[in-house]
Amino acid sequence: MHFFRRRRLVIAIVGAGIALIVLAAIGLFGLLRGPAKTSQPEQPVPTASAAAVVPTDQPQPVLETSSPELFARSVAHALFDWDTRQDASLTDWAQVLVDVADAEEAAAVAADVRDYLPGAETWQRLSSYGTRQWLDIESVVVPTAWATALEQAEAGQIPEGASALTVVGTRYRAGTFNTDAMRSERRVSFTVFVVCPGPESCTLLRLSKLDHPLE
């Protein structure tokens, strides 16, 4: 009788251990893929299109240009294209964006950038999976609300040469857990506020909250 009771206890313990392992694996996969909208579940990454936009192995400087659209595209890639497998730290990936911030808004831009990049603890966990991320841009347009903002702004309230560009695209993320390759995708949208004073290179004024773009 005692033998059967002990046998049932051992089976229960083993079963609970297996359940915990399964739950841990599910949790790690969720961490790897990042937050997703409930209305837009993660989808397998299309290998052909994703391969063309995989980020380089080190942070790349934001493009020096007087074109608001080209500058916004470069900022968008700097925000989303990163690779934890490389020697570059989280700070290194963020610094390229702070380097092009408008002088008067540098602190605010740094805070905006932190909202887009993983936190230090999350970065370490993603590094253990060899996670890399990149962005496939679908569109970059001046939002309708920007014209209204310019009309209603008081003199000097908006810097001369300022523009707002809303970026829509798909964020891809890939990594490895044990020997299993894991990939995910998520649609994202946000607005990049820039200042392009004539022939001089643009600077980054601010970023909207992720998925809360100016319409």
- Split into its structural domains, the chain has a count of 1
In order, the DSSP letters of 95-132 are: HHHHTTB-GGGHHHHHHHHHHHSPPHHHHHHHHHTT-E
Residue whose structure tokens are 């996670």: 131
Q: Can you tell me the mean pLDDT for 175-179?
A: 88
pLDDT of residue 18 exceeding 90: no
Is 8 part of any domain? no
pLDDT for the residue numbered 68: 97
The band of 29, judged by pLDDT with boundaries at 50, 70 and 90, is very low
Q: Is residue 120 included in any domain, yes or no?
A: yes
* Residue 73 within a domain: yes
Average pLDDT value for the chain:
81
At 195, which helix (H) or strand (E)? strand 180-195
Query: What pLDDT, on the 0 to 100 scale, is given for residue 33?
Result: 43
Of 58, 50, 16, give the one whose Cα is nearest residue 173. Answer: 50
Between the alpha carbon of residue 32 and those of residues 26, 35, 78, 117, the distances in Å are 10, 9, 20, 13
Distance of CA 76 to the CA centre of its chain: 9
Q: Is the pLDDT of residue 6 over 90?
A: no
CB atoms within 10 A of CB 131: 25
Higher pLDDT, 53 or 91: 91
Tell me the mean pLDDT in the region 28-51.
40
* Domain assignment present for 49: yes
Which residues are CB-neighbours of 190 under 8 A, at least 6 positions away? 76, 166, 167, 207, 208, 209, 210, 211, 212, 213
pLDDT above 90: percentage of residues in the chain? 66
In-domain check, residue 84: yes
- In tens, the pLDDT along 198-211 reads 899 999 999 999 99
In a domain, 143, yes or no: yes
The pLDDT tens digits of the residues spanning 183-194 come to 999 999 999 999
Question: Does a structural domain hold residue 6?
Answer: no
Structural domain contains residue 29: no
108, 102 Cβ separation under 8 angstroms: no
Q: What is the DSSP letter of 174?
A: E
Q: Quote the crossing angle between the two packed helices 106-116 and 68-80, to the nearest 10°.
A: 50
Is the pLDDT at 94 greater than 70? The verdict is: yes
Domain that holds residue 157: 34-207
Q: Assess whether pLDDT exceeds 60 at residue 78.
A: yes
